[in-house]
Amino acid sequence: MEDLLRSLRNLGLGAPSPSQLLELLDTDEEVQKRLAQLLSLSSVLDGEGGEEGGAGGAAMMMGQDLLEEAVNALLDNFRKTLDRQREVSKKETTTKAPTKVKLAPRTALLARQDAALKRAEQQRQEAGRGYIPRLVVDGKASYHSKRPLASLKRISCGDLNLAPRRYEGAYLLCRVMTPLLLYVGVTFIVDDPSGAAIPVSISHFTSDINQSQSSVSKLLPLGTVLAIREPFVSLDHASRAGPCTGKAAMGIRVDSPTDIVIVEEEDRLLEGVEWKEDLPLSSCPPSTSTVWLRDGFLSRQLRQGFSPPAQPPSLSAIRETIEDFIAFGRPGAAYRELCAARRLALVGNESLKDVEARILYELRAWSGAKDAFASTSAQGSSEGGPDSLRKDTDFAVPISELSPVQAAKRTERRLASESAGLTDEEVASIYFASSGHSPNPRLDTSEYIGPVQVRDIPGAGRGLVTTREVQPGELLLCCRSYGSAYPSDPESLGSPILRLNVDNGVVSTTSQVRAQTNLIHALVDRPDMLAVPVLGLTAGPSMDYSRFVTEPYPLRARMELDPKKAVNEYKSLDVDAAYVDGVLRFNAFGPAQAPASSHSHKHVEESQGELGRSTQPHPLPAILNHACLPNVSSVFFSNIVTTRALDVLPEGTEIVHQYVRGETPFPIRTAQLSKHGFECACSLCILDRADGAEASGRRARITEGESRAVFERSRLLFKSVKLAEVGSTDASLAGEVKEAHEDVVEALKNLRERIDETYSASSKTFPKERAQLKPEVFSTLDRQTRHLALFSGDIDVVLDSAGDALRCVGAQVASQDGKGQILDKLPRLHFDPSIDLVLFVATFLQNRRLKELSLRWVQAAYHAHQAMVGGGQAVFLHRWKSDSVAPALELWLS
């Protein structure tokens, strides 16, 4: 990748755009050709083009041809690199007779690493703050050790003489002898006691890939003694952690960072071990506190019975270690270290209360955190800002930035909303915080688990069912993700990650790779809290279930907070990185479709394509099964998802939400769902299947193909219409304009009839159900309603048309003469377009001076909004207020 970027730069071309990066990995020749064209063309447009454009056309064309040829050659070269990588990967899994390898001499390895570090530093400087994509590869085989170190026998580098091979039942004792080279994972050189050296690479070492070499090297300082459990010696060890260059080099490849055990000086493993060679001198300063994937010294000491150090650490040193853990997102280790320090009587029960409060807060132990904050503020140990929090930033401001009094207050609120759910005001806060200044804030809420429980669902694994009857709009879940990652996080900004699985062609992007790392590290930190919620999820049809899948699935992830048990019983988890990858692939939610972005800031994330997606692991919501016709609406607010009932759900009803949008045509939906390995049997799919493949295929072609042209005509006609005046005067359209509208209505009617024909089989078998559900017809009726409102004098015609449209997506529209709610049942598909239509009708009625009826339609839109999103008036207005519907909304507000 780096070579390709440099060569492009030398030709005066820029780096490929995010979507082009993905095309680089596409094996389709046509895609490659077009890519070469685009890459070479972009220079003409961006570069010399401009003012002199048009002059010397022929010469330019010549230049363009040559340029394209050159780019083609570069892409070809890049593809060859990938092909070589594919070959090596194949060799690793199929070779029966591994190659006998000779270890490279120590000095050669050291020189090589030194050069690589210098090169990386130089590249970093060259690119400045520019955009440097990083490419690594992945493959079918992935390893992780499940055996405890004590059960393994020690081997040395000299025993590692075959590659590729996994050395089962053995561990390699070795020492870090160079600084770490950070790319996506890390690569460095180790030596064993005999002085023999070998390169090692570790995947998922850190998710902060923008940190400097010296700060990453502090995580495993020079001289750190490691035991690598059941090492895998690869022909091409660095390809998963370091740049994909197509040049294979033998070394140890660690796929799951939990295979690395940091060995203490006091450990029996080191008895009688003598290191033959001295460590090379290096510029990397030795560091005393390392927090990488292990507990603090005191908690290790208590657990493993090491003899206490002659000089116990000072209070400030203990505080520093614990603060480091909190800063590294490791509240579990912070908690254990604090408990250990208290048990060893190095810290009094009343000191470090402020730190304790923050740890408990991070662990979502609100009531303990509240007490600790309260006692901190009583001691007056630290001063903070003003005590009144600004409401709109409440959920976006981290707890560490609040004064103890503020923090105690907030914790109290978290405690309250954990049992009562979010108020409208709180939903409005998270809504505005998620659409606010920071592109991807991590919002801080408590989790609310409503009247639901986990239950086995025949034929569908586990699912969530209601424990009592719930009403439309009732909040059932409010959950926060664990280990979420956004492409725009500072830890990776400017360095998008691409990981190509050379065996199956699947590409993982920045947020997937980083969320995987985050989760692995969180699992090591809080195994008792997260192992079942995360590893108890399925990792896709091709992966065997983890042992955690058989355990009862918890509604809430909780950590053991008994000070003694937490320290003594902590056991680091052996995490299978590939399983975590599967869990994310099949359970994490892709682009956060924040309700705030659905309107005004449309497609902010989509503009970056696949690479712009965030990865949000939400364990409990992931337990929900799918239905194309959902009975709840799940809405994302940054890292938070809320789930609300769309209908009356009797006790024992399974709640189901959409993995893919139900209004998508059946054949496309089925294809999108196929990766999950189940056949959807929701009521909509039953109907669609009854129509047969030919009819549903024809329907898809009509809605995805020919209807586009009609909709486009409709849109163009509406461009010149002032919506605020729709329907205000009877049939006032000029003759030919009116004709144009009538024409479109005729075309829409035609489309609708052709779509309707495709429902004929299901309409015979399920007449009642199909009459209520024709999602593909919605858009034609929606457009028709708008045209009719313009030129038809008859209000009932417009209302009937709107009513028909809403019925097609599962809503039930009450009769117009009643005084009650307009929507007896909420729409179950086309959520936002339905609300938009209801507001359009309200505006039309208002312009017709039918104020009372108009109010009822606005009320219906508000009711639907509240049931789906919540947040009250403020959010409703922010999402829907526009010039066109303003008159109706203003009337409603007054």
Binding site for Zn ion (CB under 5 A): 628, 680, 682, 685
Q: Whole-number minimum distance, CB 453 to Zn ion, in Å?
A: 24
Q: Whole-number minimum distance, CB 165 to Zn ion, in Å?
A: 47
Going by C-beta distance under 8 Å and a sequence separation of 6 or more, which residues neighbour residue 711? 779, 783
CB contact at 8 A, 260 and 228: yes
Q: Whole-number minimum distance, CB 763 to Zn ion, in Å?
A: 18
CB contact at 8 A, 209 and 184: yes
User: Which is nearer to Zn ion, 385 or 541 (by Cβ)?
Assistant: 541
Q: For the stretch 308-346, what's the b/e string if a residue is b when 16 or more beta carbons lie within 10 angstroms of its beta carbon?
A: eeeeebeeeebbebbebbbebbbbbbbbbbbbbbbbbeb
Report residue 883 CA to chain centroid gap: 35
Euclidean distance between CA atoms 84 and 91, whole angstroms: 11
User: Which is nearer to Zn ion, 682 or 822 (by Cβ)?
Assistant: 682
Q: Give the closest residue to 185 by CA, choosing from 243, 121, 235.
A: 243
User: Which is nearer to Zn ion, 301 or 658 (by Cβ)?
Assistant: 658
**By three-state DSSP, how is residue 183 classified?**
coil
Question: Can you say whether the dihedral through the CA atoms of 242, 243, 249, 253 is positive or negative?
Answer: positive
Q: Whole-number minimum distance, CB 771 to Zn ion, in Å?
A: 18
User: Which is nearer to Zn ion, 680 or 808 (by Cβ)?
Assistant: 680
Structure tokens at 107: 């000095």
Q: Whole-number minimum distance, CB 660 to Zn ion, in Å?
A: 9
Largest Cα span, the chain: 101
Pairing of strands 251-254, 197-202: parallel
Q: Give the closest residue to 263 by CA, choosing from 291, 304, 225, 221.
A: 225
User: Which is nearer to Zn ion, 669 or 856 (by Cβ)?
Assistant: 669
**By three-state DSSP, how is residue 239 classified?**
helix
User: Which is nearer to Zn ion, 476 or 685 (by Cβ)?
Assistant: 685
Q: Whole-number minimum distance, CB 683 to Zn ion, in Å?
A: 8
User: Which is nearer to Zn ion, 685 or 860 (by Cβ)?
Assistant: 685
User: Which is nearer to Zn ion, 186 or 685 (by Cβ)?
Assistant: 685
User: Which is nearer to Zn ion, 528 or 663 (by Cβ)?
Assistant: 663
Q: What is the DSSP letter of 438?
A: S
Q: Whole-number minimum distance, CB 804 to Zn ion, in Å?
A: 23
Going by C-beta distance under 8 Å and a sequence separation of 6 or more, which residues neighbour residue 26? 32
CB contact at 8 A, 649 and 631: yes
Euclidean distance between CA atoms 353 and 344, whole angstroms: 17
**By three-state DSSP, how is residue 181 classified?**
strand
Q: Whole-number minimum distance, CB 627 to Zn ion, in Å?
A: 6
Q: Whole-number minimum distance, CB 682 to Zn ion, in Å?
A: 3
User: Which is nearer to Zn ion, 498 or 685 (by Cβ)?
Assistant: 685
Q: Whole-number minimum distance, CB 689 to Zn ion, in Å?
A: 9
E strand segments, 139-257: 153-155, 162-163, 165-166, 170-176, 181-182, 186-191, 197-202, 225-229, 232-234, 251-254
User: Which is nearer to Zn ion, 679 or 746 (by Cβ)?
Assistant: 679
Q: How many CA atoms lie within 13 A of 267 on its CB side?
A: 17
User: Which is nearer to Zn ion, 414 or 626 (by Cβ)?
Assistant: 626
CB contact at 8 A, 22 and 507: yes
Q: Whole-number minimum distance, CB 582 to Zn ion, in Å?
A: 23
Q: Whole-number minimum distance, CB 702 to Zn ion, in Å?
A: 20
HEC-encoded secondary structure of 88-108 = HHHHHHHCCCCEECCCCCHHH
Q: Whole-number minimum distance, CB 603 to Zn ion, in Å?
A: 26
HEC-encoded secondary structure of 469-536 = CECCCCEEEEEECCCCECCCCCCCCCCCEEEEECCCCCEEEHHHHHHHHHHHHHHHHCHHHHHHHHHC
Q: Whole-number minimum distance, CB 155 to Zn ion, in Å?
A: 54
Q: Give the closest residue to 198 by CA, choosing from 143, 238, 239.
A: 238
Output the DSSP codes for 359-428: HHHHTT-HHHHHHHHHHHHHHT-S--S-SSPPGGGTTTS-GGGS-HHHHHHHHHHHHHHHHH---HHHHH
User: Which is nearer to Zn ion, 441 or 630 (by Cβ)?
Assistant: 630
Euclidean distance between CA atoms 641 and 594, whole angstroms: 9
Q: What is the DSSP letter of 615?
A: B
User: Which is nearer to Zn ion, 673 or 837 (by Cβ)?
Assistant: 673
User: Which is nearer to Zn ion, 117 or 684 (by Cβ)?
Assistant: 684
Q: Whole-number minimum distance, CB 441 to Zn ion, in Å?
A: 34
Q: Whole-number minimum distance, CB 759 to Zn ion, in Å?
A: 16
- Give start and end residues of each alpha helix (H) in 678-830: 683-690, 692-701, 707-719, 735-757, 760-765, 767-772, 778-791, 795-808
User: Which is nearer to Zn ion, 457 or 493 (by Cβ)?
Assistant: 457
User: Which is nearer to Zn ion, 259 or 663 (by Cβ)?
Assistant: 663
User: Which is nearer to Zn ion, 680 or 806 (by Cβ)?
Assistant: 680
Q: Whole-number minimum distance, CB 356 to Zn ion, in Å?
A: 49
Residue type, 510: T
Going by C-beta distance under 8 Å and a sequence separation of 6 or more, which residues neighbour residue 863? 473, 821, 823, 826
Residue recorded with tokens 């190659």: 99
Q: Whole-number minimum distance, CB 632 to Zn ion, in Å?
A: 15
Pairing of strands 232-234, 448-449: unpaired
Going by C-beta distance under 8 Å and a sequence separation of 6 or more, which residues neighbour residue 594? 434, 435, 636, 637, 638
Euclidean distance between CA atoms 431 and 257, whole angstroms: 37
